[in-house]
Amino acid sequence: MSELLRSGAADLAARIATGEVSAREVARAHLDRIDAVDDGVRAFLHVDAERALAAADAVDARRAAGERLGPLAGVPLAVKDIFCMTGVPTTAGSRILEGWRPPYDSTVVRRVRDAGLVVLGKTNLDEFAMGSSTENSGYFTTHNPWDHDRIPGGSGGGSAAALASFEAPLALGTDTGGSIRQPASVTGTVGVKPTYGGTSRYGVIAMASSLDQPGPCGRTVLDTALLHEVIAGWDPMDSTSIDAPVPDVVAAARQGDVTGLRLGVVKELGGEGYAPGVNLRFREALAALEAAGAEIVEVSCPNFRYALGAYYLIMPSEVSSNLARFDAMRYGLRVGDDGTAGAEEVMARSRDAGFGEEVKRRIIIGTYALSSGYYDAYYGSAQKARTLIARDFENAFESVDVLVSPSTPTTAFRIGERTGDPLAMYAADLCTIPSNMAGNAAGSFPCGLAPEDGLPVGFQVMAPVLADDRVYRVGAALERELAARWGGLLTDQLWARENGADENGGAL
């Protein structure tokens, strides 16, 4: 069983395709792992064992019939509970949608099902994807597998924790301001935000429509690229979907050659104010990539300093609009309907009971920013800053192939440490937000453990729009160089530590 759990998705798919192992055996091993460890990790909101085993049996039947299987057929997958799935509870981490079962699949879910992936269940998240720690879930807090007293990142902490705890080899997430990359960073896993419009938002419960983007999560660069290839591509159901060829991310992940590639280190994202261990591991990663043939140069993106403030005006404004649909009239929680209360009173009671404090905070901020007399001063100004940030990217990409930075300023902080300080919580997304504002591709890759606390550090790669393959090219080179030093993946060290033996022995 341990061999199946530690195997990568690509390896599992190959073994299933040859008949060395059945899809049912693989699914059963991961379901048993969830049963064994998820009481401590709390990655899953809903485990769908019966459907998962049925899906695995279907893959085995297709293989037995001689059907040609896709590159990930039979591989288990965890899905962030913001993707609609037919007949499966979909809550977006909010009590206001408790028990809701959508009548349709999101496009991304339909694509992974069509490709033969086996959905294990739905993972926990900050309510409506609003948060950087998964402490804002309406149900419970997810714990970081490296240290259960620490956060697993957010909003997609459940998906990242499921990967790091070997409960699933692949996961789906969404990234609005770093909700794939920041959890990947603090759990030692891989997470990529595709170019905006590169993956369909149809059937993804909206938080901020101009920023949200579904993306793949895995423990290796190749596994993540294989999932990216499955979910990406034009979708007529999404008006923001890009009708253009999907970059060959799988070839880039297999290649991992950075010879002659120019990497721009963003001066504004790093240095003072960043944890010493984060700066140290980031510099070591740069040295490894330089030794592999990359050219390292410093780049200034002066308007990135406005990204955090502008984001926290644009995003809440879109939240205010999107969450108006949860009105207790058509579906979801309905409170106070005693026959005497009017519609407005029922709506107010339901929203008060169903929304958490962070959601209410952002609705209020957004409504204020859009209000008469303040629109130009706040929302309008934030959009101007967004344009300047996009221009910084365009200018930088004239002289470098990708931009790089730490994925987040610190390692995973302690549960409860920042819940009373929203501004400190928001700062966790300092490095990731610029790419959401501009819409370009970006990913986070493990680059070691910080010496002061022994927790994972992430290395962020940002590429131009529709150059997602460059993200994987650099990530694969970094993975290869560091794995040679460590004797394996970063998560292999976690497995070895949990099982009482240093199976890899690499210096971190």
Assess whether pLDDT exceeds 90 at residue 288: yes
* pLDDT at site 74: 98
Least confident among 131-135, 152-156, 340-344: 340-344
Higher pLDDT, 136 or 500: 136
Q: Is 193 a catalytic residue?
A: no
* pLDDT at site 501: 52
Q: What's the whole-number mean pLDDT along residues 184-196?
A: 98
Q: Is 200 a catalytic residue?
A: no
Q: What's the whole-number mean pLDDT along residues 57-81?
A: 96
Least confident among 141-155, 218-232, 487-501: 487-501
Assess whether pLDDT exceeds 80 at residue 377: yes
Residue in 179, 185, 405, 435 annotated catalytic: 179
Q: Tell me whether residue 305 is exposed, middle or buried, using C-beta atoms within 10 angstroms of its C-beta: 0 to 12, 13 to 18, 19 or more.
A: middle
d(CA 415, CA 131): 13
Q: Write out the H or E segment, with its range, that includes residue 214.
A: strand 214-218
Evaluate whether 356 touches 127 at the Cβ level (below 8 Å): yes
- Smallest Cα–Cα separation from 5: which of 500, 491, 497, 474? 491
Residue in 7, 22, 80, 193 annotated catalytic: 80
pLDDT band at 341 (very low <50, low <70, confident <90, very high): confident
pLDDT band at 331 (very low <50, low <70, confident <90, very high): confident
Residues in contact with 119: Cβ distance below 8 Å, sequence separation at least 6, in sequence order: 48, 51, 52, 55, 76, 77, 78, 79, 85, 109, 112, 113
Q: What's the whole-number mean pLDDT along residues 415-442?
A: 96
Assess whether pLDDT exceeds 70 at residue 230: yes
Assess whether pLDDT exceeds 70 at residue 9: yes
* pLDDT at site 506: 41
Q: Is 80 a catalytic residue?
A: yes
Residues in contact with 178: Cβ distance below 8 Å, sequence separation at least 6, in sequence order: 132, 407, 408, 428, 429, 431, 432, 433, 436
pLDDT band at 504 (very low <50, low <70, confident <90, very high): very low
* pLDDT at site 144: 98
* pLDDT at site 508: 42
* pLDDT at site 336: 78
376: left (phi over 0), alpha (psi -120 to 50) or beta: alpha
Q: What 3-state DSSP class applies to 61?
A: helix
Proportion of the chain above pLDDT 90, given as a percent: 91
Assess whether pLDDT exceeds 60 at residue 502: no
What is the CB neighbour count within 10 angstroms for residue 306? 19
* pLDDT at site 505: 40
DSSP sequence for 106-157: -HHHHHHHHTT-EEEEEE--SGGG--SSSTT-SS----BTTBTTB---SSSH
pLDDT band at 343 (very low <50, low <70, confident <90, very high): confident
Assess whether pLDDT exceeds 90 at residue 299: yes
Q: What's the whole-number mean pLDDT along residues 445-453?
A: 97
Q: Tell me the pLDDT of the chain averaged across its residues.
A: 95
Global pTM exceeds 0.85: yes
Residue in 22, 106, 137, 155 annotated catalytic: 155
Spatial strand order in the sheet of 295-299 = 44-47, 118-123, 76-80, 170-174, 214-218, 190-193, 441-449, 456-463, 402-406, 262-266, 295-299
Proportion of the chain above pLDDT 70, given as a percent: 98
